[in-house]
Amino acid sequence: MAKTSTTTQGLRAAIERSGYYPALVAEAVEAAVGGEPMRSYLVHQETTFDQNEVRRHVTVLVLTDNRFIVSHTDEQAADSTSPTPYATTSTESVKIGRISSIVVSRVVANPESYKPGTLPREVVLTIGWGAVSRIDLEPAACGDPNCEADHGYTGNSTADDLSLRVSEAGDGPETVRQALAFAQALSEATADTTR
């Protein structure tokens, strides 16, 4: 899909609907995208509660022909470093060929009567490209309960660069559809080995 005014307007409208500093978020995303055609996008606004404060966070994902762009915007209350509230926006641009894994987890109600095409009530999209890895280690052991030898450590390394959860109850059915469409577009883009 080429970057058309319809795609650009759709992204802008989604950012506006999030209601979360739309001018700031749109400027950061548009600067990261530059003049590249957009294939797909997803805007997800999340509200969290931190003791007595409500914090908002928006994530914007954009797929172009060559890149996967992630934008995060967080708001912060006034603190010792700033007498006024502030927001932090960051963007990361990842070449499509660097994406090593895409995991789409779907939660469906009443799976025994599931019909193809039914919207899941929840989707978790996890994307890995090697920027962040988590290592879980534990002492290694052998099968001998009387063994006192040091067997070193065993563990797992997990790529966990981005995990995004959307639900029909919290985000609405359109956001769940958009998450699935974005995941499919990203999966198709990474399947193209010529990139």
DSSP string, 9-53: HHHHHHHHHHTS-HHHHHHHHHHHHTTPPEEEEEEEEEEEEETTE
pLDDT at 2: 42
pLDDT at 3: 44
pLDDT at 1: 40
pLDDT at 4: 52
pLDDT less than 70: residues of the chain: 1-6, 50, 131-136, 156-160, 193-195
pLDDT at 182: 97
- Return the SS3 of 67: strand
Distance (Å, whole) CA 158 – CA 107: 22
Contact status, residue 166 vs residue 43, Cβ threshold 8 Å: no
> Hey, what's the torsion of the CAs at 84, 29, 182, 16, to 10 degrees?
60
Distance (Å, whole) CA 68 – CA 182: 11
pLDDT at 133: 59
pLDDT at 6: 63
pLDDT at 156: 65
pLDDT at 31: 96
- List phi, psi (to 5°) of 14: -65, -40
Distance (Å, whole) CA 142 – CA 152: 11
Q: Is 60 exposed, middle or buried (0-12, 13-18, 19+ CB in 10 A)?
A: buried
pLDDT at 152: 81
Q: Residue 86 is which amino acid?
A: Y
pLDDT digits (tens, 9 = 90+) for 53-62: 777 889 999 9
